[in-house]
Structure 1
């Protein structure tokens, strides 16, 4: 191994380690702060998180899981069909429609939440988990359709043509041939949809009014003591760790497919 290649490898590892420390330090600090008590270290902060009057309750977690599940399912369904149409079919206005879909990314979603709140009231979904899920699905679609279109385009057309020769129609080809081939892209889209919906705060804050409908993020923010309006920061840090653990576990299990989805789909074109 030459001196230059050795120096390049060391530089790669040092840079990677520095970036890992930079990104992990806030989470590690939150974990340390969540365990720190007046008498040392323990789980007292987590006990207050789940037992205080304004702490996290089971229905908050169920609400977050419901919103996340609906968002993931809806995003995968629409993005798969949209990506398949954009990636495999030719129709008038296809490129313009795709650009309009991507243009949603340029609109700060906070600027239209009030309008969406009014719209949900018109259709009877105001202050509901289904209405919140529909809004989150809408904001996931530009990236998700982009990912799925590129994932479908990366699949060799010979596979699709062979299926059609065997008598498969478009739907059968999509289900039997294309979906297994774009599995990394599906996992990437689903993972992004879950992470966004699970940790989303601003949209639930605007769209949900009833405390029974609150998600875990709203419950964590409401962790305030009644004494002089002070904030229980230690319990808040415990809430941050509680919110982060499912995301970390899910990413750890799906990391390989997640990276493969980006390299085979999103980076194409």
Structure 2
């Protein structure tokens, strides 16, 4: 086989494999979209109307989810920026031990500590609270987020830090005015991960939230299953799935370049 034919065969194999994988991953979403507009009388938006008026109203669940997501993303970014900056640019006693202890949280299956956290939040007066749920989600996101930010700050050349110091910037000023712009891809990656995790979180919300008026979208969508004598309303359920998936897809498409750069620009260096 000639080199040109070999390259052509390689490209065909590559595009065939990636196309098959794309179809495989997109099929569930496309099926949900098709099922969400299917009605006993054809196609329409009746399933979405049922979803909008379900329970306390989709607006309540959307507002709760947006609040939890905003607090989780903000808390994760603030703490991981400061923590990653400290681990990446400073030396202090116990630095490595503390960093390893932070990463060790990844080894603990989070469902196993939800009950102790439920009791702790009750003593703090944050039980059945969106703020309490957000604090728990921030804690779950911090190991990965701090790891990403620490390695990103370590990849910043020392000359840039020295230039900021010569211009009169202290440690915090250098972070806010200079370094944060250097690690924007990592910030976008951490923010995207925190958004996806908090927007779609079900198990922690199921344990920590008791009142239906404080349910998030995942809880409301699952609750739609048993709305009629325990039978599953699949069309309305699929409408809820599509409603939840659209913001995630849009945000990922908007941030995909920064997301890829966050991993490629030293964010995963050892």
TM-score by length of 1: 0.96
Instruction: State the distance in 1 between where 2:7 and 2:57 align.
Output: 52
- Alignment of 1:209 with 2:210, yes or no, is yes
Matches within 5 A, 1:1-269: 2-52=4-54, 54=55, 56-224=57-225, 226-269=227-270
User: How many equivalent residue pairs?
Assistant: 268
Per the TM alignment, residue 56 of structure 1 is displaced from its structure 2 partner at its CA by: 4.2
Which secondary structure does the structure 2 equivalent of 1:223 belong to? helix
Which secondary structure does the structure 2 equivalent of 1:167 belong to? coil
- Structure 1, unaligned runs of 5 or more: none
Verify the 8 A CA contact 1:56 1:220 in the aligned structure 2.
Answer: no
Moved more, 218-227 or 238-247: 218-227
Which secondary structure does the structure 2 equivalent of 1:134 belong to? helix
- 1:56/1:108 CA distance change after superposition, 3 Å: farther
Which secondary structure does the structure 1 equivalent of 2:266 belong to? helix
Instruction: State the distance in 2 between where 1:56 and 1:201 align.
Output: 18
Instruction: State the distance in 1 between where 2:26 and 2:264 align.
Output: 24
* Deviation readout 1:165-216 (Å, 9 max, x if unpaired): 2221101110111000000100110011011001100011000111121111
Runs (4+) of structure 1 moved beyond 3 Å? 224-228
Which secondary structure does the structure 1 equivalent of 2:70 belong to? helix
Per the TM alignment, residue 104 of structure 1 is displaced from its structure 2 partner at its CA by: 0.5
Per the TM alignment, residue 82 of structure 1 is displaced from its structure 2 partner at its CA by: 0.6
Moved more, 65-74 or 83-92: 83-92
Instruction: State the distance in 2 between where 1:21 and 1:139 align.
Output: 32
Per the TM alignment, residue 227 of structure 1 is displaced from its structure 2 partner at its CA by: 3.8
Instruction: State the distance in 2 between where 1:226 and 1:175 align.
Output: 50
Verify the 8 A CA contact 1:148 1:265 in the aligned structure 2.
Answer: no
Per the TM alignment, residue 18 of structure 1 is displaced from its structure 2 partner at its CA by: 1.6
Verify the 8 A CA contact 1:55 1:219 in the aligned structure 2.
Answer: no
Per the TM alignment, residue 267 of structure 1 is displaced from its structure 2 partner at its CA by: 2.8
Verify the 8 A CA contact 1:132 1:207 in the aligned structure 2.
Answer: yes
